[in-house]
Each structure stands twice: as structure tokens, then as C-alpha cells.
Structure 1
Amino acid sequence: MTHVLYFAHDLADPAIRRRVMTLQTGGATVSLAGFTRGENKLADVDGVTPIVLGETADGRFAQRIMSIVKSSLSLPRALRQVRKPDVIIARNLEMLALARRASGMYGRDVPVVYECLDIHRLLLNEGQVGKLVNAAQRYFARDAKLLITSSPAFVAQYFEPRSGLQLPVLLQENKVLMLDSVEQTPAQPRASKPGEPWKIGWFGALRCVKSLQILTDFAAKMDGKVEIILRGRPAYSEFDDFDVLVAKAPHVSFLGAYKNPEDLASIYNEVQFTWAIDFFEEGQNSSWLLPNRLYEGCLYGTLPIAVAGTETARFLESRHIGEVLPHANASTLEQLFASLTEQSYIKAFARLSAIDKKQWVTERQDCVQLVHTLASLAAPHNGRTVEAALSTA
């Protein structure tokens, strides 16, 4: 059985839980080590007790670097009960440094996989700081065997032209982990009844100040005709006072955290539209990503709203689904909903429902294939290249 040592930047991140579950479902045993962040509650993963290496903070890159340095020194003690893994996965750049350190501890023959699902703004910095961060990435990734990322635009816009990394790439989209073999009940259209508002859901990592401003302004303009529902984990470091802003906003509500994937059907069935727009790193990472909420909403028949010029918009336009705004602001949203009728909603819902559900879902066989690919990195030399392994993924 393949043993994976997984280094996580934030042990409470639901995406970490999903990745661990994916690896377990694929047949791997997983040892999990990483950092906590402030008040974030650890995400429970059956059968895995994480090794806590320290605490970091959102938006404080220097503090995170110091935590990595300290953890690197104490890593032999922290991992003393962890048997030699077959593969080490590093989630994000700072974890890559620890993964390389751990690989050396185990004899340097343990392959390292770099999992990068967001391009940090410092990697795109044109100044000296950016050059130093990219140099560090190249240094720590120099012996890595594989890069896992989640959007083709990350490869086309950053990894190929700018990173200097020469790694095989495995695309792992942010699809919904669905392990239940029972046939999913098809989503049903949820047209607004007379007197009831249309509902837009903004779920997941809530970190975009501009999105919150647009949505609250729009809800106020519509005066009850549209309701905004927020769920997930607010990045409180990004907002002046998230709770106060939401409490003061008419027709906007924050309903707290949820469990992914267990709660997805119930929360998306409460809304007709998904806010799939992000300006957190506008023009860079936010323009290139394909967010979790895109796949989640589409799976459950919730129409995504994107903005032109982004990878999400291109994704929707190539499939003729969802709504793409020419510009994201309260006025363009008002125009969209002014022309919305029950009939036009039903037609848009039907186009979305016609898409093969495999587009949105990671199934058991996908999990098995991922672990098979990872295991091949650690296999004895038999002439099979990493590229050959990826060709079957």
C-alpha cells in the first residue's frame, strides 16, 4: 500500500481534507503534517491524526517563513513516529521547503510532489522580492518529480513562461469528491415563485473584499428581489469587519461553515446562482483559477456567474452554460436580473443539466488513478517514465 506523507499549509482547509480523503480512497495510507491558522477549527479526517508543526497567519508571509524555518529544525522530532513514505506531497511553496527537508531525512530517495493550486502574488512580483521567491521555488523544487495544479491557465500563464520549473504536470481540477456509488438524484430547477427573491450563493473561501462590496450594493439596489447567501470560511484578515459589514447589508446573510462534500447538495439546492467571481488577486491568480464553487454549483444545478476575460468565463463559454458579465458590478448584475424570467432560467438550467456529471465529479476510479500515478514515481527503475505514467492518468 502506497504511503503518502502530506505537508499541509493549513490543516483546517477543507481542500486538505478532500485531498486526504481522495488519497485514502485511492488506496494510500496518509500521514498528515502541517500548520494551524488562528481560530480555524481542524478539519476531521477519519483515521488521520495530524502532526501540528506550528501556527501561521493569513496574509503574514514573513511570519510563515519564520515558522517554516523553526519547523525545519524540529522536523526530525516531529516525524520520528512516521515510517518512511513512498511519496511526499507538499501543498504550496512553503511546504515544499519542508518536504525537501523530510526527503533528505529519509534518505533523499523519496520522491517529492509539488501541489500548487494558487499562484501567490509574490511569485508574480516583478521586483527583487519576486525574483527571490521564484528562486527559492526553483531551489526547493529542483529534485521534485511532479507538479499538481488545478487550472490550465496556471500552466499557460505562469508555470511554463515564468516559473523556470521543468516538471511534468498533472492537472487535478477542483471537482467534487463523490464516493457514494448510489446514483445521484438529478437536480431540479428552482425557479423563483411570485413574491420570492432569486438567490445567489457565494460559498467557500470568502476572501474577496470587492466581491462582497458588489454583492451588498446589488442586494440593496434590488430591494428584496434578490437575496445573497454567504457560507464558508471568511478570511477575516482581508476585511475591515466582515461580520459587521454583512449584518448591516440588507438582504445579505452569512450562514456559517459547512462540511464538504457532505453538505454541498443541501446548501446549493437553496440557491439558483453561484457567484464564481474572485478579485482577491485581480488580473493574476483570480483570473486564472477554476474555483471549487464552479464545480460544486454546476453539479447541483446552480447557474454560475463569471466575469469576461477570466479562465472561469472561458470555461463556461466553451460549454454554453452559466452567465458571463461584461464587467462585474452592481449595474451589470441589475441588468442580468432585470431580463431574467422563469422561462429563461429554465432554459439555462436545462443547458447546464445536459452536461455529463463526470465534468464536475472526482469518483473512486479517479482516486485510484491518482494514487497509481504517485506510486509510479517511487517504483523501481523499469524504463517507465513519469510522462508515461501521466499519460494514463
Structure 2
Amino acid sequence: MYQNLLAVLTLFLTSVSVSALQALNDSFLAETYGQAIFEITEPVVKQPNGSDLNMVKLTIGARVEINANIEEVALGRYWRPSGTNCSGGDGNDKVCYNDIVPESYNDNINWACTANPCGSVGLASSNYLSSLLTHDVGEKEFSDKGIFPSGFEPDGGVDVKIRHLTMGQVNCDGSGNNCKMTPFVQENPYLEFAFDETGDTRKLVGFRLGSEDSFGYQGNAIDVISGFIRPNITAVAKINGSGNLGSIKLETQLGGVRTIGWIDANTTFLKSTSGLTGLLIGSETDLQGQSPHAQLFPVQSNYLAHTSAFFFSLGTRAINWSEIGGVSPGTTMPGFWINMGGDARLLAETQKGSHPINYYPGHSYGNDYYTAPAGAKIQNYDAPQASWSETYTP
């Protein structure tokens, strides 16, 4: 029986013709699709000067969940010329966008700061105040550690300086036990490279690191940035820290090169008011007049509500990057750059304390951020939670 079966199998196998392997041409490969963890695309993007840059973007089909505390991030410590021909803010020297600069800058034109002086260092203390209209502590100096535990350390010699950076949140019960962690989530992270191919050689002129979707709790003390942060701000307006005048909802752009984020009436939009705040603020111009101070540093409690506009970049020139999730980010300037909330999905609630709390009791920063200025416990965020948590008992 076994011999007969073997004979049948042998006959069957010998009757099958075997063809040699053939290489697939490009047109056939273009019709082939499947699923993989990596995707490589090569968009061509029109640049500010009208030319094209060839991009290579590597996207990783993954979900990254982070709960982390970073004491300091400092990127790009090198010389830049001091301020350009800025406009906006008191004295018309706080907000500008590298459009007009002195001829004496020569080749350094594109590398000039957009605040005068760089990093807004050394100005009168009246420039470093939280807004009476948008912060329940009223107009307080950034350096007051009783109000802002991180302190304030402006720096004119670095592109991006962020301290006490937190990603995620920890919620504990009143005794400091049964702490639940929630992560900061990034989906489909990517690396994108920009190449100039106009000459005889292919030159790498920039790259950026970001993700197609970022959401979760994020806290920081921003001393200076190069970049764009466009938050939606919700605040309860009070007088001298008491009373309730109603709420204010606005969207403003805080950014430039080595800046601490001045409110500019041209890029501030009053979305709505309630209560008596409607009588105090009638337009974006009124808001500019009421709060002429830098307001990037006090915005320390953030929730990224599924934004596609969160990335870091480094470039040797101004660069327009490819579109992500239907959003075309603003042009990044030379040097290190951070883009955050450029699609209006960065939510900042200025009444929730300095940070979303991400320190366990006993941490060196934990006591600072667990105690509100008035002695009451700082509220943590109650925005939709991320998808996982774990319980920890110290």
C-alpha cells in the first residue's frame, strides 16, 4: 500500500512543471499592496520662495504610550543676531516673523531672532506677568515660585528651552495611595527628511520628528522657544483672585524665534465670553490692550486633543513640510523648531495649576506641584483618559 501511494505521489510531482523565479517590474509592483509596520512616501512640497523640496518620510505604524518626566530640554545653543524689525507688543519690539530685517545682517538674515532682545532677556519685570484676565492668580511675576513652582529662567542663547516637561498624568487619592497613571499617546510616529536636489548634489537641509496623532496630558515651563504654539485657552476671570466674572475662550498664536511668547492682536481670536467678561472684552484688540505681557510661560497645563501638528524639526533654512491629517503646518525657521497645537487642538486651562500632575508623592517636584498657591489641592485634568492605566501603591 505504501509503495503504491509513493508511486502516485512521485507521478503527481513529476507532472507539475516548475518555472524559474522572475523579477517583478515597477509597474507590477505598483499594483501590489499589503500591510507593513513601515511606510515610505516621497512628497514634493512647494517652498516659501516658490521652489520645490523633495521629502522622504518614514512612518511607523505603531502606538507609543509615554508616561515620563524630563527635567530640562535645551536645543540649539549657538549665536543668532539680536532682534529684527519687530512689530507688536509694547514698544513694537516683541512679535515679528522675519519679514523685514536690517541689511547689515547679510547672510544672517534668516537666522535673526524675532524678539528684541533674543529670548526676551533683561526686559523690565512688568513684561513677565501672568494675565489678570486669564489666570486666577491675577498679574503675578513669572519668577514668583509661590505662584509658579518651576521658576522662570529666560535664555537668549538657545532655540528651545523647556523645563519640568511632563508627559502623562498621575491621579492619587487624598492619602497619596492608589495612584493611576495615564499616558501621553502618539500614533503613527514619523521621521521626515527634506532634500534640496536643485544642484549637482543632493543636500539634506532639514528633518522633523512627529506623529500623525498626539493626545494626552502635557505640562511644561517654557523659558524660550523657537516655534509656533497655538492654544485654545479657557479661563475663569476673577478680580484680585476672587469672585467670578465669567469665562473667556480665546485662541492665540505664541511664537517666533527665541521668544517667550507675546500676545499679538493680529493672531488672537476671541471665541466666546460669558458673564461680565463680555463687557470687559469686546474684541481681539481689547484683549491685546488688557494683556500686553508675554503669555507663553504661564500656559503650563495642556491637553493635546488628537492633534496632528505636534513635531520637532531642525533645518538650515525656512521649510514648508508635507501635510499631515489635512493640516499644513506653518513654515519652520532655520535652527531647532517646535510646532504644537497648530491645528487648534492644544487645550490650555489656566485655572488647573501649573501642570497636569505627573509626580508621585515624595518626588522632589511632587510637593511643589501638589500644593496650590491658596493652599487648596490643585485639580488634575478630567479630559478623556487614554486607553490604559495601572495602579501603584507607594
Normalized against structure 2, the TM-score is what? 0.24
| Larger fraction in helix | 1
Higher relative contact order (CA 8 A, sep 6+): 2
Normalized against structure 1, the TM-score is what? 0.24
Task: Flag the structure with larger Rg.
Answer: 2
